[in-house]
Structure 1
Amino acid sequence: MSVKPCRDCGDLLPLARFPRHRSSGDGRTSRCRACSAARRKRDHDPSRERERRLWRAYGITGADYRAMGIAQGWRCPVCGERPAAGGRLVVDHDHVSGLPRGLLHSTCNAALGLLADDPAVLERAAAYLSRTADLRAQVLG
């Protein structure tokens, strides 16, 4: 019976305790089944996944995200509301520099993106909405 050491725990185990792997010399992985399962569980932890996504997409850590949320009082600076129960604020970033600007509701973030992140367009949209609100008040009032 052939044995080999596990790369993680170091135990000398029979080859049958290692998952199959075609490209390795002995046809088995370098980690035993127990260590492979523990590694898979650790690597697919949702909080670690979120940390990796934040770092990859925006260059910030989970601590940076929480600091931004605390600084904003966990409210969206566009609409002033808190996220719904179980929801979260998303990272808004400048599309030119890539730097994060703050945390917004996903709908508020999408609205800014659809208006091309252009303050002039946003001001025209606000003026348009004000005019239509005045018209509605005249018709209904």
Structure 2
Amino acid sequence: MATAVQQVLDDSNGLRTCKRCNETKPEANFNKAGTGYRSSTCNTCRNERRRKIRQSGRRREAETPKERAARRLWENYKLTPKQFEALVEAQGNQCAMCGTPPPEGKQLQVDHCHTTRIVRALLCQKCNIAVGFYERHAAAVAQYLALFGEGHPLIEQAPGTTRGEWEIRRAPLTGNQGRPPTQKTRSQP
């Protein structure tokens, strides 16, 4: 392994020492990273390592997009492409939650329980994200709706007024009203 002093000397001469094979080679034999620095591994060692990874099957570069989609459906949800298409047909190619079809070029996403891995339905991307957020933050959402479901306690809107026509109440709040649930209340002296 090259020492730090040797590496500095090599760099100043336009040479670098590969950290894998310990050979000193011209700087051109080392890839330039996006940050402008040269790689610490020579191109020969890098290519050899990539070849081994491809042969081991860790990377599936020979897969077509359809094969990749089928593999992911099976690995993540234990669904075959035929089962997925049957679900799409049964739902009329519409989101099970909002009833809209997926945008052109997109397909519905599989909604599943992250605990049991059971497939529930096919959703559009927005609904799938919303369901996932609600699952993780159900208590906070329920607490927020209980506190602000009828409107903010400091904002008074007269019946029959349009949006934007409101006043801020001047009455002080009691307890934890109007504050986020995690914020502590100050004790009055």
Q: TM-score, normalised by structure 1?
A: 0.56
Equivalent residue, structure 2, for 1:88: 107
Secondary structure of 1:51's partner? helix
Secondary structure of 1:56's partner? helix
What is the root-mean-square deviation in Å for CA atoms of aligned residues?
3.4
Deviation at 1:89, TM superposition (A): 0.5
1:19-61 deviation line (CA, Å, top 9, x unaligned): xxx8xxxxxxxxxxxxxxxxx88x4111011000000000001
Secondary structure of 1:68's partner? helix
Q: In structure 2, do the counterparts of structure 1 residues 130 and 98 end up closer, same or farther at CA, with 3 Å as the change threshold?
A: same
Q: Does 1:115 align with 2:137?
A: no
Looking at secondary structure, tell me which structure has more helix per residue.
1
1:81-138 deviation line (CA, Å, top 9, x unaligned): 0001111101000122101111101110110110117888878888899846xx7x84
Q: RCO (CA 8 Å, sep 6+): is it higher in 1 or 2?
A: 1
Q: Paired residues, what number?
A: 100
Q: TM-score, normalised by structure 2?
A: 0.43
| In structure 2, C-alpha distance between the alignment counterparts of 1:82 and 1:91, rounded to whole Å | 14
Equivalent residue, structure 2, for 1:45: 64
Equivalent residue, structure 2, for 1:73: 92
| In structure 1, C-alpha distance between the alignment counterparts of 2:90 and 2:100, rounded to whole Å | 14
Deviation at 1:139, TM superposition (A): 3.0
* Identical aligned residues as a percent: 31
**Residue identity opposite 2:102 in structure 1:** P
1:47-82 deviation line (CA, Å, top 9, x unaligned): 011000000000001011100111100100111100
Among candidates 162, 171, 175, match of residue 140 of structure 1: 162
Q: Which of structures 1 and 2 has the bigger CA Rg?
A: 2
Equivalent residue, structure 1, for 2:120: 101
